[in-house]
Structure 1
Amino acid sequence: SLTDLPVNILSIAIMMKLGLAPLHFWMPEVLQGISLTTGMILSTWQKIAPMTLLIQISHLININLTIALGITSILIGGWGGIGQTQLRKIMAFSSIGHLGWIIIILKFDPQLSLFNFILYLIMTTAVFLSLTSISAVKMLDISTSWAKTPALTSTLMLIMLSLAGLPPLTGFAPKLLIILELIKQNATALATMIMLISLLALFFYLRLTYLITLTLPPNTPNSLIVWRTTHPSYLLTAMINTMAIILLPMTPN
């Protein structure tokens, strides 16, 4: 029909704004070049408007376009993050992968896509706030953060596993619901494919988790520790982190 071309062009433009693969090339480089706080805004707040537009025109979008870009994003998001040592680039590829899950279900169930997007915002905000609190921009930084902030570092580990989609954490809910919806829509092959591809992302999340928790204790920390220092309380970080970990029981039926 006459609306197909304009809608497809608009969809692709919005998806480029979101940073979906293969239109993602700007995102890792931009995120690497800015501070953690600005990176958090770019990865969360800046995506609300284009995602809102995309959900509003979801009934017009070509389903083949969403599936193709969704699969590509999940693949690139996992593949690109494996070799990275910079945490901001890892979060950029993590964002690309999560947006792939959101887009792939958009045509089937826009409400589920919105639910997934909200949880993505919560989990990504939690990671960036935690990284900001411990001033970590490289993998080396989080491997030595245990001695300084053990509670926050442990929480960060759980958030990473939540981003990976492991039960019983918050991040398991959207993946479970998306897989169930795809199976309900007789797209079992697609569901199987994205589950297998998402194992790539699971690898680098587990790699980060390993660095956070298993490499430093019980070794002598390499960082200079100043004892009896007062640490500021991060109430917002604590609240967001809690939501990023334990929201699974609130999953809608």
Structure 2
Amino acid sequence: MLPVLMIYTIILITIFLGPIITITSTHLLIMWTGLEMSTLAMIPILLKTFNPRAIEAAAKYFLTQSTASMILLLAITLNYHNLGIWQLTPNTQQYIYYLILIALMIKLGLAPFHFWVPEVTQAIPILNGLLLLTWQKIAPLIILYNISYMTNPAIIPISATLSILLGGWGGLNQTQMRKILAYSSIAHMGWMVAISMFNPMMMILNLLIYILLTTSMFFTMHILSTTSIIMLSKTWNKLPLLTSTSLVILLSLGGLPPLTGFLPKWMIIVELTKNNSIFMALSMALMALLNLFFYMRLIYASSMTVLPSNNNSKFYTHQNKQKYLFLMAPLIIVSSTALPISPLLINLY
């Protein structure tokens, strides 16, 4: 038991060290090494529950991430061959930036390379899905942040718009919570990439709020032990207060005012309008309604159509050992009531 625990601890440390190495380095090869550390350490996490679905998810994740890593390594090698340095400069040729952007799009699950995200997320446990959709996104977004000042290709707005559209469209017909949050992640990545061309710091703000909201929702799912809409509707007799707050978090993820999730969307739309991207801001706002619709459909299905239950189910909470996370209360509060600090954030960004 002890060797297994030590191995699992080393894997988790490697996962958390990988993005930190990428963030703190300016050497392209070391940044790539940090990405690879995190990617390869994630494979055993995906295989922790050893079953055919987990094996398939790990294979899909490995193939997509290794393809992106090879494209990124190719771009780094070509840049060194042309300029003799391991950093990106204004003299770096444009096609190298395109190769880097394609690699980052695959790693982030941006459209049209988004197909692996819902399939992998659905086949793994809840907390592993949280790690996949939050921490694993940090390093590629930081690389995108570093190169956003040097290039402004048309591929960024096209991919961002497609991601928001397909992220909302793909979640409309889903009943599984993990797939819904996976498509939500695709749409949120589209919002972050869209603003990276004009205000990269706002992309970091959006990332922080996205991680906060997604962590709150995944923790709620973990405590309630629910993975589908039907299971969520059965939790009203188990933990009614936590179930109701989970619906508020879903509305915040959809960007409904006056909740916290409205803040990044509002700031991004204002910034796009200031930069004369009015059509893009309008189309993104309209496509965000798709996300809000499937969140509202999920809320309606889990609250307005509660399954009939007998009287004995009212005592369900006394018959089962409950799971508690001490961070749950502050996460819920910040996920729903942080909008009043928006004037401060607008002045900062």
Q: Normalising by structure 1, what TM-score?
A: 0.94
CA deviation string 1:66-107 (max 9, x = no partner): 100100000000000001111111111000001101100101
Of the candidates 253, 269, 294, which is equivalent to residue 204 of structure 1?
294
Deviation, 1:155, is: 0.8
* Percent of residue pairs identical: 42
More deviation, 233-242/100-109: 233-242
Does structure 2 retain, via aligned residues, the 8 Å contact 1:8–1:61?
A: no
Higher relative contact order (CA 8 A, sep 6+): 1
Is the helix fraction higher in 1 or 2?
2
Distance (whole Å) between structure 2 residues aligned to residue 48 and residue 68 of structure 1: 21
- Tell me, yes or no, if structure 1 residue 164 matches structure 2 residue 254: yes
Deviation, 1:227, is: 5.3
Does structure 1 retain, via aligned residues, the 8 Å contact 2:230–2:302?
A: no
* Unaligned residue ranges in structure 2 (runs of 5+): 1-90
Amino acid paired to 1:111: M
CA deviation string 1:137-177 (max 9, x = no partner): 11111111111111111110000000000011000000000
Distance (whole Å) between structure 2 residues aligned to residue 87 and residue 44 of structure 1: 16
CA deviation string 1:182-226 (max 9, x = no partner): 111111111111111111111101011112322228x53699443
Deviation, 1:42, is: 0.1
- Tell me, yes or no, if structure 1 residue 97 matches structure 2 residue 183: no
Of the candidates 333, 336, 346, which is equivalent to residue 245 of structure 1?
336
Match of 1:47 in 2: 137
Deviation, 1:236, is: 1.2
Distance (whole Å) between structure 2 residues aligned to residue 172 and residue 32 of structure 1: 27
Larger Cα-atom Rg = 2
Q: Residues 53-92 of structure 1 correspond to what in structure 2 (within 5 A)? A: 53-92=143-182
Q: Secondary structure at the match of 1:235?
A: coil
- Tell me, yes or no, if structure 1 residue 236 matches structure 2 residue 327: yes
Distance (whole Å) between structure 2 residues aligned to residue 223 and residue 38 of structure 1: 33
Does structure 2 retain, via aligned residues, the 8 Å contact 1:142–1:211?
A: no
Match of 1:142 in 2: 232
Does structure 2 retain, via aligned residues, the 8 Å contact 1:144–1:223?
A: no
* Unaligned residue ranges in structure 1 (runs of 5+): none
Q: CA RMSD in A?
A: 1.8
Q: Secondary structure at the match of 2:167?
A: helix
CA distance 1:14–1:216, shift in 2 (3 Å): same
- Tell me, yes or no, if structure 1 residue 17 matches structure 2 residue 92: no
Amino acid paired to 1:237: M
- Tell me, yes or no, if structure 1 residue 177 matches structure 2 residue 248: no
Q: Which runs of 4+ in 1 moved over 6 A?
A: none
Does structure 2 retain, via aligned residues, the 8 Å contact 1:71–1:100?
A: yes
- Tell me, yes or no, if structure 1 residue 129 matches structure 2 residue 219: yes
Amino acid paired to 1:147: N
Distance (whole Å) between structure 2 residues aligned to residue 231 and residue 194 of structure 1: 40
Amino acid paired to 1:122: L
Amino acid paired to 2:335: A
State how many pairs are aligned: 252
Distance (whole Å) between structure 1 residues aligned to residue 323 and residue 223 of structure 2: 9
Does structure 1 retain, via aligned residues, the 8 Å contact 2:127–2:218?
A: yes
Q: Secondary structure at the match of 2:114?
A: coil
Does structure 1 retain, via aligned residues, the 8 Å contact 2:164–2:186?
A: yes
Amino acid paired to 1:98: H
CA distance 1:102–1:227, shift in 2 (3 Å): closer
Does structure 1 retain, via aligned residues, the 8 Å contact 2:223–2:322?
A: no
Distance (whole Å) between structure 2 residues aligned to residue 37 and residue 172 of structure 1: 25
Distance (whole Å) between structure 1 residues aligned to residue 94 and residue 299 of structure 2: 44
